[in-house]
Amino acid sequence: MRYFIWLGLFLLSIGVKAQQTSTVDFTKLAGTVHLLPESKSVKGDIKIDLKILKATDSIYLDAKNSEVNWEQKNQFDFKTTADKIWIIGDFEKGKSYSFNFEYQMNPKQAMYFVGWDNEGSNQIWTQGQGKYTSHWLPSIDDLNEKIEFDLAYQVPKNYTVIANGKLTNKKTQGDQNIWSFDMKNPMSSYLVAVAVGDYASAEEKSASGVNLKYYYEPNQKDKVEATYRYSKRIFDYFEEEIGIPFPWQDYKQIPVRDFLYAGMENTGATIFSNQFVTDSIGFVDRNYVNVNAHELAHQWFGDFITETSSEHHWLQEGFATFYALLAEREIFGDDYYYYKLYETAEQLKELSDNGKGEALLNPKASSLTFYQKGAWALHILKEKVGEEAFNKGVKTYLLKHAYKNVNTDDFIKEIEKAGQTDLSIFKKDWLFQSAFKANEALSSLKKSKFMQELLMLKSLRNTALEDKKAQLERALQDPVNDYLGQEVVYQLAQENSAEVIPLYKMAFESNNLLTRQAIAITLSEIPQQLKKEFKTLLDDDSYLTKEKAFLNLWLNFPEERNFYFEKLKGVQGFQDKNLEILWLTLHLVSPDYESDQKSEIFKRLSHYTTPQYDYAIRENAFGYLYQIDTFSKQSYEDLFEGTAHPVWRFRNFCRELLDTLWENPKHRAQLIAMLDSVPSAHAAYAKKKYN
């Protein structure tokens, strides 16, 4: 018997996978997790409860590179492999067991210690989806295993802990605090989350009485309202539209630095990128509303019910995308809703026309397919069966599979029943077919009068100006629609005739923020006749408009550069400091402006490449330093560090920039001279590629 047990362990250790959900049901995981930022490690004291469904001689927990101290009172033996903790013994069908153990891990992913080794704000946060919680907490990677997690977290004093479930206790132990959280219902392990940092919070209650908590760093208190704008409205809308109360005890949202994605729907505790923290001006172009609604929708579609496998991933991402769009429709109106559908239809059509279309049930499909094609499928389905039947079917589907796992047939079956209709053609066209049903999508879009007007306007793109002037003027009549106004400007940007000047003046005078923004973006060569109007863009309540207008004015009218500098002095812009970093860069290449400040200005710009700043700020700074072809020694060091950054977009950016600089003898000499002095982890990419 022992031979077969160890043979099984050996096969699993070399990559043979096994499913154990039919053998064992893990019901509860409780204990205390001690987070150790100095060593970037965790220690834990865990109790796991389980029930045996089928007699077996071994079960396992997923645990990456763990050290385990198995308590003597446990009746069975244990063994650790590179990625599992095996519990070995004669497990009887129908019997329940509990095991206690201590563990230690040094997570290489899924838990991130940010800021502790630099001057940035200190944070710890997790990302379980796609990374596996088992890197820092022994658990079950299989998303079909749902467990009740009741965890406490021990951290240094003066830091706030936010995690899944309701905070039930906080106690002090020496220079540490222990924060205890309680969950009432089970969830998949990838949704376990914790965030630690210097946080304050604002609170609201939903119409149904659920506590909503909005976290922020204390120095950004003035951005709380704009960042979390419409949060309660979205929450209340979902409870009413979905028809099922929020399925968890409370709801928290936490912005973190250097987050890997836009947001993550951890059960009851959404973690999101601090790039969405904004003031009211930034809200116009880069707000949190869509991500906010998307992650909240996942609390039902993804957390409450969870896909059985990646083949059915659209049941999470397609639903979250669709319901987020419904929430935005409630806030921003029908034109916004249809325009967003139109934008994604264009993307999906292009993919399909290029022979790269993907079926929704393709487990290896792209995000565009799972998210946007999934949302389109739901939009078409809702139109097909009617709103009442659609909502009834969704509600039944959710309730029938509450806290369980689902597949596509589970959903389609309930919609067919609610709508009393056969959905075989819908399934063929929208679930199994790789091509995007562009004509059906277009017919749906044309139900909107606004979309009819927009499509008509777009059809004039190749029409001579004199033949469409009347239609363009009509689109610029007050009140100007955001999207129609932008389309007019895009068409004007393709013209060289002086005939466009009066139309541009109409667009400026519309005072429509997005129409004026389109001018700032597209009009790179500013006619003298429009100089006065273009300067007014610097006053628009949009950081994107200000940025584009500043650069274009600086390029076109060098004699007035000092005016532009003074106008935008001290303006940061978005969280990535887009305006401030552009201002510093243009300052350096404008010899007539504050000539005695160049050294200090370069120091400020270079400092933004350091790891204490969010990766988006660093990327902006690196990009502009490259444009002016000047780097400090510190920035070279920071670039090496960036090649090992956990955010893949930034990591790839740094590697590509390093490759480019390496081709330049001046920069290569500096980089080679530093290669042996930077930490080995930071130099690994360069040494592997260039040695």
Report pLDDT digits (tens) over 552-596.
999 999 999 999 999 999 999 999 999 999 999 999 999 999 999
What was the pLDDT predicted at 73? 82
Q: Give per-residue pLDDT as tens, 355-406.
A: 999 999 999 999 999 999 999 999 999 999 999 999 999 999 999 999 999 9
Contact (CB, 8 A) for 32 and 44: yes
Q: What is the mean pLDDT of the chain?
A: 96
Q: What pLDDT score was predicted for residue 467?
A: 97
**Which residue is listed with tokens 């893949």?**
648
Which domains does the chain carry?
Answer: 306-447 (1.10.390.10), 569-691 (no CATH)
**Could you tell me the pTM of the whole model?**
0.96
442-496 pLDDT tens trace: 999 999 999 999 999 999 999 999 999 999 999 999 999 999 999 999 999 999 9
HSE-CB for 564 with a 13 A CA cutoff: 32
Give the CA distances from residue 235 to residues 218, 241, 263, 318, 392, in Å, rounded to whole numbers and listed in that order.
25, 10, 17, 19, 19
> What does the pLDDT look like over 32-66, one tens digit per residue?
999 999 999 999 999 999 999 999 999 999 999 99
Rounded to whole angstroms, how far apart are CA atoms 645 and 258?
9
Facing residues of 44 across strands? 33, 103
pLDDT tens profile 644-680: 999 999 999 999 999 999 999 999 999 999 999 999 9
pLDDT of amino acid 18: 53
As a whole number of angstroms, the distance between CA 315 and CA 292 comes to 18
User: Per-residue pLDDT for 80 more than 80?
Assistant: yes
pLDDT recorded at residue 306: 98
Amino acid at 588: L
How does pLDDT run across 255-271, given as a tens digit for each residue? 999 999 999 999 999 99
Q: CA triplet 23, 61, 110: central angle to 5 degrees? A: 135
Q: Report the distance separating Cα 514 and Cα 516, nearest Å.
A: 5
Rounded to 5 degrees, what angle do the CA atoms 26, 30, 36 make? 125
User: Is residue 525 packed enough to be buried (19+ CB in 10 Å), middle (13-18) or exposed (0-12)?
Assistant: exposed
Contact 586, 605 (CB under 8 A): no
Residue 19 predicted with pLDDT over 80: no
Model confidence pLDDT, tens digit, residues 504-531 = 999 999 999 999 999 999 999 999 999 9
Amino acid in position 214: Y
Residue 97 C-alpha from the chain's centroid = 39
Please state the rounded mean pLDDT for residues 290-305.
98
C-alpha distances out from residue 529 to 144, 465, 526, 533, Å: 65, 19, 8, 9
